[in-house]
Structure 1
């Protein structure tokens, strides 16, 4: 059940200061949603997932880092701009090209003085800011997900928020912790998991819980510990970037929409290693199917699910890529990489390209019960998460000389096709996203967005 709670004062101020025309537009959008649910119409049956922008952190429910859009091999920088603060998660792209990214900044948005988190939206063609919504300070740690109406779903301190394409709040549902994973289920609900292990499935239109919450770390025993305090919502978030032990759930879940089984990395308190856990959302409840304690020194990547749903790929902090049987959790093969992968593994039907903040560009081919190196580029150091597109075209950020470059490469051979400088970029990047028209979006951790467009 969704709980109605008082919004922070800065959110209230932001809402009441909206210009009249935006409020009217929002009412019109709500009217469309209301009408679409009446009279037995099927207009509200909105599918979400791959092929419509870059709707979740690693493109789709299985975290494939791959799109069916044919990638351009000739890109030019369209625009770049700072967002005013750092970024920790990939930028998502709605079906109409609207960009969404979270950050944490001072004086974020009108009427919100002091340090807060924020959700920014920008227009793809121009980079113009569409809206900025202040959220809890730890919203920077939450990924976003976008549905087919460009409604965005994002977490912050103790809540899951839904915001429409105009920046108007739709609903907020309280949770324990900060949602670091936001995905869509096969029946178009919203699956969220906080860093403290609370799993929820929420109705996309109302925010109501469709099943009882599930606690990956188990329910607290208040009879044995009647004075047990509730942990702060932001506890352990600083360990999430490296998959450390203080962050029980550090990554984005991978979900199989056909079976509603989903896969999560979990570090149970007191365990020597982190685990890959399979859960199922069915029969009006969430249940655990299996757990494999295989992630040495913690999880390094989000799990990636193969297209046929039979294999889960995950990296650990000992520098290994592991393939796991999705049915029972048994290890199929292990491949040492020589570096720690980060983000998720881009998987185009068995061609696996891990990302990272160090290490080098490498592609592996899954043979089922074994793996082989398809090609390797030790001259291209990783500074982010690669993306694969149709037409055997891939993109990755790599340092060349003194600058970070967006490198376009042939996914079949690994050969460099082209490279383009990211002006002023430093450090590493949070992800590489591909728009519906072949635009490539790169966001740096220092908080700069770069948008490249196909040459015409």
Structure 2
């Protein structure tokens, strides 16, 4: 997910990109469920498509796409676009003034609405329900809007929610970068559980002179998953069991952890702690992914390892050396095909979970992966790559066969430079990607 110019050029380019992200964030910054709770699994309703963060779509992907439209957003973009079942799409950005939450029509690219929220919204992808209501975090709060952008509610939180998830009973689960877990009613924003503090919470009654940390503290480090951002990634949620997983770097700890918690729902809803695994060397820039059966959590650390973890116990099942550190989450198919995102000197490859080890299925070392992959039905995948090297290399949307890695289509992103920050699939198989510098490309 980084421009490169040889091995040492990669490091310089990655450092430059992270510096850009740090600058703009610091200054600004579901799985199938019952329709009875108003959640749709059509479109791309969350940052990683569904509750398990699969980065996959049930739509049969086209093997011959072309650019439909593109447009500048008005500022840098750090997170995926989300897409309602109607095709209405949503994206956040960083701007000094004016709007930083945008919605567009898929077919035309016409703006539906734009709103101004607190600057931390750049770190959050809106999630969208079946009624095309959106839910998005910003510095100090979680807000909901209808499909016209009119406000429905706002609930104050501690920190900035890093994208959210829908629970099995239709509530909104958010975790802020400062470690506060909240579950809120979708219709009113009212909390259904007490806030759960992963890092504890200062006692201002006992220590009245304590100064609360700013709600955007550490956001500049969340993209790379380093120590200054305690919770850098979106939780993965098992909608059947209520168990969910977050990455957490405790202050002063040598490494980050993978944490399991559980939301009970029911008449006495609560969030409880399950287990902790201190396994993420150097932190993690990837959101956890769940296997389709909920038994395994996949996550990468910042020293090139992809790990498979037992979801019930936290025991590591296997590790796999990718040869690079992903800066973005993997795509995990229902049958266990894992395609990591690019990273520092990252390329395109796929491995398969074989139970007690990972097996490499294919590898494309000649391609510099400058995006994050998405898999669709029909063994078709999409990601942004470059065959050239250097920060000015041209970007291409690659359509590839997920079983073999073979190229089946290539479509340029005209004028695009740098990296892209997510790949989302629309309800009719549209392919969307925003660039870090703030342009949205839509292929159909």
If the length of structure 2 is used for normalisation, what is the TM-score? 0.89
Residue 373 (structure 1) aligned to one of 357, 360, 375: 360
Q: What is the rounded CA distance, in whole Å, between the counterparts of 1:418 and 1:200 in structure 2?
A: 43
The match for 2:372 is 385
- Residue of structure 2 in register with 1:254 after alignment: 236
- CA–CA distance in 2 between the matches of 1:148 and 1:301? 27
Using the TM superposition, give the Cα deviation of residue 181 of structure 1 relative to its aligned residue in structure 2, in angstroms.
2.9
Aligned to 1:22: none
Partner of 1:183: 165
Of 77-86 and 277-286, more deviation after overlay is shown by 277-286
Q: Which residue is 2:287 aligned to?
A: 302
Task: Tell me whether 1:93 sits opposite 2:83 in the alignment.
Answer: yes
Separation (CA, whole Å) in 2 of partners of 1:266 and 1:83:
31
Partner residue, 1:433: 424
Bigger Rg, which one? 1
- Alpha-carbon separation, structure 2, partners of 1:67 and 1:339: 26
More strand by share: 1
Alignment match, 2:3: none
Unpaired segments ≥5 residues, structure 1: 1-42, 110-117
Say if 2:324 and 2:343, in contact at 8 Å, map to a contact too: no
Q: Secondary structure at the match of 2:329?
A: strand
Kindly report which structure 2 residues correspond to 1:42-441, keeping only aligned pairs within 5 A, or say none. Answer: 45-50=36-41, 52-109=42-99, 118-222=100-204, 225-282=207-264, 283-348=268-333, 349-358=335-344, 359-401=346-388, 402-441=393-432
Verify the 8 A CA contact 1:344 1:355 in the aligned structure 2: yes
Which stretch of structure 1 is more off in the superposition, 354-363 or 96-105? 354-363
Is residue 357–residue 428 contact of structure 1 (8 Å, CA) maintained in 2? no
Shift of 1:222: 4.0
Distance 2:412 2:37 in 1: 38
Give the aligned length: 402
Structure 2 alignment gaps of length 5 or more: 1-33
User: CA offsets, 1:111-153, max 9 Å, x none?
Assistant: xxxxxxx110011001011111000112111221111111111
Cα distance between partner residues in 1 of 2:209 and 2:364: 56
Query: RMSD of the alignment, in Å?
Result: 1.3
Measure, in 1, the Cα distance between the counterparts of 2:109 and 2:413: 15
> What TM-score, normalized to structure 1?
0.86
SS at match of 1:270: coil
Q: Would the aligned equivalents of 2:366 and 2:387 in 1 still touch at CA under 8 Å?
A: no
Separation of aligned partners in 2, 1:95 and 1:400: 34
Tell me, yes or no, if the aligned pair for 2:431 and 2:443 is still in contact at 8 Å: yes
**Structure 1 residue 49 displacement after superposition:** 4.8
Deviation of the 1:425 alpha carbon: 0.7
Q: 1:342·1:354 contact (CA, 8 Å) conserved in 2?
A: no
Contact 2:223–2:232 (CA under 8 A) maintained in structure 1 = yes
